[in-house]
Amino acid sequence: MIFRKYFLPVLLLWVPFIAAQTWDIIGPDSTRVTQVRPDPNYPDSIYMITRTYADPGVNLIRTPDAGISWDTLGMYNGVLLHPNTAETLFAALGIGSFSDGIWRSDDYGSSFGSFPPTWIFMAQNAIYDPSDYNCLFAWGAEIQRSLDGGILWSPVYMPHIATPLEGVTVDPTANNRVYAWSCEELLLSTDRGTTWTSLLILPESMSINDVAIAPTDTSIVYMGCWGGILKSTDCCASWDTVPIPPPHITNRIWVSEMTPDQIIAGGAYGLMRSFDGGDTWMLAGDSIPYEVNDFAFGPDGSGGRFWYIATEHMGVWRTPEIPFTEGPFLSHPYPPDSSWVSLESFPVFIKLFDPDGIDISSVAVDIDGIVYTSVDPELTVTDTGIVFEDDFSDGDTVNISITSVDDILGHSSDMLPYDWVFFVDRAPPELLFNYPGPGEVIDSVDIVARFYLEDEGSGIDIGLLSCAFDSIEVDSSSMAFLYDDDTLFIHLPTAGVIANPGDTIQVILTTGDLCTLEEPNDTTYSWFFAIEPTSVSERPVLPENKGIAVSPNPFNVVCRITPPGNYEIYDISGKVIKRIFSNQKEPVIWDGSDESGRSLPSGIYLIKKTSGKLNKAKLILLR
């Protein structure tokens, strides 16, 4: 194995962090934390492994409220959260007993199974394949692999190793390449863990703690060791020593998703960053504690990320993400990418950060093909952000691209172009037809109500969809509720609606859409229908209804449509087969013919009013 450099003097190869960075202490106070994992969905929910020097002295704990309260979940020495939700998590127990293994919880760690799904002696932890969340690797005295999300596990072959494994990582672009390491040896599998080859054996003074693969160039691999950091640029064929300020112990290392030259290292020296592949370093803040055991990223609840560090004696700390760019750092676009907006008026903005300051004249923003600069009145640029104000209309798709922004030293942001899109939706879902309709008289008490809804924007939120029949409300939790292909079906007897001949029933349909900013668009439709009485004299008088009325319905020769106005008639495929124009004074008469005057076959047709304020529809049965 080739080493080209080995521990050059590094006292002059680091500089202080160029701007103050505030770190908040999450806790627990005066506690040794060896691993921290924030919940991917809830910013204040954080899992961590605490450890004492007593044997076994390890615990998995969780705070749901950023350190205000704490729950002890069990005596585990490693934790793995699902990348999208912490509902499913795995905890490693490795104390040299028959309980060793990877334990699974499906309720955020509140309970684990009565036995582990896989037994691994001296189990340390597990990871997901970043390109396939059904594939997991767990390690301890051996490596086991699951291909079904952690339900079934099987051992994979390992050559003899002198000490238990310390970690496993998967190549983010080629998941057949898997690296594993013990304290002294680095191994590689090129067939997803079936066979393994030894790549490197280090002297005892080095001791491997972590391995990180550059996502944008996987030939570049970093190793964090007791003796410092090693770097390979040729898929581990040869290694260079990366200068890191003393003490050299490196517990955790991370490589940016943007470039392999941007790295973060945590260890006995605290938390440090490099922009140039490890040649020079800067501290990640001026108040950060030394002796960092682990760090992780988690959501901050507003589109950005928190950084977390697990320390040797001072619990867990966190800070808003530290910009990792020589030029301006862009974050927190608003409205967020791919969001649906129901607001009448709102600004579009994005945060900027650069310790040197922003060159306001350098900013250019492309919004739907129109380029705005700082001289345009719609655009406001400061050292902290870009704000754009203009009017948007319902149905707009707004594409935004930050194409230019420099700091005052002339450094351009390396995050450009920074693109995002949002959608404007201010209209609630529309009820196109309903059965029973307004004023209809139904000759059966065994009724399946049907409502066809349409929302051309964000879509219909099933959770906001409900229908009340008199005093009985039916929502998606009811067995009588079925929503399929934009149509809501409700079986009234199953819903508990007792209808008798001669009854008049009020219907109140409530619906809303899926807008995420701020409130969904919702609306309510209300009308009455009746059940056929036993005799004509008992026919109920329906309350006044402003919907479309068709009489008779079903019809054979002609039907009378009110209120007066212009109408379109559709067949069941959605094709317009007739347009009727009236003088807005007399009821509309339809003889069952199409646009050319030909008689239409028997069937169901939809009539929709196209004039006036009423924009509803009704089903007609032609016999």
Per residue, the 3-state secondary structure of 584-604, as one string, reads CCCCEEECCECCCCCECCCEE
Tell me what the mean pLDDT of segment 437-443 comes to.
87
What token pair was written down for 15? 């500089």
pLDDT at 72: 93
Residue 12 clears pLDDT 50, i.e. is over it: no
The pLDDT of residue 66 is above 80: yes
Closest CA to 521 of 467, 466, 460: 460
Q: What is the mean pLDDT of the chain?
A: 85
pLDDT at residue 21, rounded to an integer: 59
pLDDT value at 161 more than 70: no
Mean pLDDT for 214-224 is 93
Q: Which residue has the higher pLDDT, 347 or 571?
A: 347
* Tens of pLDDT, residues 472-503: 999 998 988 999 888 999 999 989 998 888 88
Distances (CA, A) of 433 to 164, 437, 449, 580, 608: 67, 8, 11, 18, 9
Measured between alpha carbons, how far is 117 from 167 in angstroms, rounded to an integer? 20
Higher-confidence residue of 5 and 396: namely: 396
Q: What is the mean pLDDT of residues 421-431?
A: 95
Reported as a pLDDT band with limits 50, 70 and 90, residue 574 is low
Pairing of β 549-551 and β 221-225: unpaired
* Distance (Å, whole) CA 550 – CA 211: 74
Token pair, residue 155, equals: 């051992």
For 149-154, the CB contacts below 8 A with 24+ separation are 149/88, 150/88, 150/90, 150/102, 150/104, 150/117, 150/126, 151/117, 152/117, 153/102, 153/117, 153/118
**Please, which residues bridge with residue 254 across strands?**
264
pLDDT category at 282 given cuts 50, 70, 90 is confident
Token reading at 425: 């939706």
Nearest to 267 by CA among 292, 241, 284: 292
- Give mean pLDDT, residues 341-361: 89
Query: Of the candidates 328, 329, 368, which has an alpha carbon nearest to the alpha carbon of residue 348?
Result: 368
Separation of alpha carbons 450 and 154, rounded Å: 51
Give the residue with greater pLDDT, 454 vs 18. 454
Quick one: pLDDT band at residue 211, thresholds 50, 70, 90? very high
Which has the minimum average pLDDT: 14-18, 177-181, 363-367?
Answer: 14-18
CA 37 to CA 46: how far, in whole Å?
A: 6
What whole-number percentage of the chain has pLDDT above 90?
A: 46
Q: Give residue 557's pLDDT.
A: 84
State yes or no: pLDDT of 297 exceeds 60.
Answer: yes
User: Lowest-confidence range among 113-117, 137-141, 439-443?
Assistant: 113-117
Residue 324 has pLDDT above 60, yes or no: no
Domains of the chain, first to last: 2-320 (2.130.10.10), 329-424 (2.60.40.1220), 427-545 (2.60.40.1220), 547-623 (2.60.40.1930)
Work out the average pLDDT over 58-85.
Answer: 92
How does DSSP assign 96-118, residue by residue?
Answer: SSTT-EEEEESSTTS---SS-SB
User: Per-residue pLDDT for 539 more than 50?
Assistant: no
Give percent above pLDDT 70 in the chain: 90
Q: Examine the pLDDT at 544 and tell me if it is beyond 70.
A: no
Structure-token pair, residue 615: 């924009």
- In total, the chain counts a number of residues equal to 623
Q: In the chain, how long is the greatest CA-to-CA distance?
A: 105
H-run or E-run covering 492 = helix 492-495
Report the relative pairing of strands 522-531 and 441-442 from DSSP bridges. Answer: parallel
**Amino acid residing at 275:** F
pLDDT at 69 over 50: yes
Question: What is each CA distance from 514 to 150, 338, 420, 459, 518, in whole angstroms?
Answer: 33, 12, 19, 6, 10
List the one residue out of 266, 263, 315 whose CA is nearest residue 293: 266
Residue 13 has a pLDDT of 37
CA 110 to centroid of chain Cα atoms: 23
Q: Sign of dihedral through CA atoms 571, 576, 578, 580?
A: positive
Contact in structure between 465 and 488 (CB atoms under 8 Å): yes
3-state secondary structure of 474: strand
Tell me: pLDDT of 337 over 80. Answer: yes
Which residue's entry shows tokens 């002294």?
A: 184
Comparing 150-159, 303-312, 395-404, 434-443, the range with the smallest average pLDDT is: 150-159
Mean pLDDT value across residues 553-578: 82
Instruction: Tell me the mean pLDDT in the region 406-434.
Output: 92
Section 86-95 average pLDDT: 88
Rounded Cα distance, 298 and 67, in Å: 15
**Residues 95-128: b if buried by 16+ CB within 10 A, e if exposed:** eeeeebbbbbbeebbeebeeebbbebebbbbbbb
Residue 603 CB coordination number (10 Å): 11
Which pLDDT score is estimated for 542?
Answer: 46
**Residue 2 confidence (pLDDT):** 38
What pTM was estimated for this model as a whole? Answer: 0.57
pLDDT over 80 at 545, yes or no: no
CA atoms within 13 A on the CB side of 206: 19
Residue 398 pLDDT class (50, 70, 90 cuts):
very high
